[in-house]
Amino acid sequence: MLLKTYKTTFLQELSSLYDEKEIESFFYIILESFHHKKRIDLALNPEMEMDALQLLRWESVLAELKKEKPIQYILGETEFYGLPFLVNENTLIPRPETEELVEWILESTKYEIQNTKLKILDIGTGSGCIAVALAKNLSTASVSAIDVSEKALNTAKKNAEINAVAVNFMFKNILETHDLNEQFDFIVSNPPYVRNLEKAEIKPNVLAYEPHLALFVEDNDALLFYRKIAQLAKKNLTENGRLYFEINQYLGKETVLLLEELGFKEIVLKKDIYGNDRMISCEI
């Protein structure tokens, strides 16, 4: 069957669940994953065909998309900061906003890395996307990462291997940790921050498939992880060490106030590309 012919069927089958732009995005993600071809390749070669076995694979993915399962989980892979990552039901799917956080950290460190071997800790690493991306782009840095899920850590370790970087992964419940017993120049975290009251805003495919452990916090203590991590940072950051958070867009001011009350300085609240309060940096 011609791929361009199947594309028409693919769009029609999913039209009641997704908008056309998103369906096209799915189609080209699968095209690259299954055939190692890009949109331009199909445009230049409209007679490109797939055999019966390939058609079965496409049909299998189509069936999963009809259940609103995220394409990244169906294929078991995604891209983050230009790097390949394995993802599954034990890890969140990395978001573009988190890429912005990584970019901010790299911009902040470009002068320090010339003379210093930085020690960096990623708390709540999940797929390892932040830790691995930082290790890949800061070749002289020593990067460690913590998570409460052993299954997530297993995936993160594979992602470090795939991207040929060394990251020290640790199984630890940060809420039960009183001291990290080590000093770091930078601590970064994208902890759970979605309140239960915000579930109505979350897409069904996220609610149904992504790990709630990594997403949600109780409404009555939405900054639980930020408070705990900031308290640890006070003990375990080096002099002039820096703390970075991805945050709940609705709690920017509250998070700044928390950090001020804990005695942090040089607090910067930064918006993402969508204009939402999304990340914070501060120093001890």
Backbone angles phi, psi at 123, to 5 degrees: -100, 125
pLDDT at residue 174, rounded to an integer: 95
Say yes or no: 62 and 103 in one domain: no
CATH number (domain holding residue 110) = 3.40.50.150
pLDDT at residue 18, rounded to an integer: 94
Cα angle 147-145-96, degrees, rounded to a multiple of 5: 85
As a whole number of angstroms, the distance between CA 155 and CA 137 comes to 20
Give per-residue pLDDT as tens, 23-61. Answer: 999 999 999 999 999 999 999 999 999 999 999 999 999
Say yes or no: 175 and 125 in one domain: yes
Number of domains the chain is built from = 2
Say yes or no: 197 and 256 in one domain: yes
Tell me the pTM.
0.91
pLDDT confidence bin for 240, thresholds 50/70/90 = confident
pLDDT at residue 52, rounded to an integer: 93
Full residue range of the structural domain in which residue 163 is found:
89-283
pLDDT at residue 213, rounded to an integer: 84
Identify whether the C-beta of residue 284 lies closer than 8 Å to the C-beta of residue 241. yes
Say yes or no: 13 and 141 in one domain: no
As a whole number of angstroms, the distance between CA 35 and CA 41 comes to 10
Say yes or no: 97 and 30 in one domain: no
As a whole number of angstroms, the distance between CA 131 and CA 188 comes to 9
Domain end (from 17, 37, 67) = 67
Tell me the percentage of the chain whose pLDDT exceeds 90: 84
Q: Is residue 99 part of a domain?
A: yes
Q: Is residue 79 part of a domain?
A: no
Say yes or no: 164 and 256 in one domain: yes
As a whole number of angstroms, the distance between CA 280 and CA 257 comes to 12
Q: Is residue 82 part of a domain?
A: no
Give per-residue pLDDT as tens, 162-191. Answer: 999 999 999 999 999 999 999 999 999 999
Give per-residue pLDDT as tens, 213-224. Answer: 888 998 889 999
Q: Is residue 264 part of a domain?
A: yes
Say yes or no: 200 and 162 in one domain: yes
Give per-residue pLDDT as tens, 64-85. Answer: 999 999 999 999 999 999 999 9
Among candidate residues 144, 196, 143, 142, the one with its CA nearest the CA of residue 170: 144
Cα angle 146-151-156, degrees, rounded to a multiple of 5: 55
Say yes or no: 101 and 44 in one domain: no
Domain end (from 32, 67, 102) = 67
Say yes or no: 32 and 111 in one domain: no
Q: Give the distance, in angstroms, between the CA of residue 44 and the centroid of all CA atoms in the same chain.
A: 34
Say yes or no: 251 and 140 in one domain: yes
Q: Is residue 81 part of a domain?
A: no
Say yes or no: 160 and 278 in one domain: yes
**Mean per-residue pLDDT over the chain, rounded:** 94
Say yes or no: 194 and 225 in one domain: yes
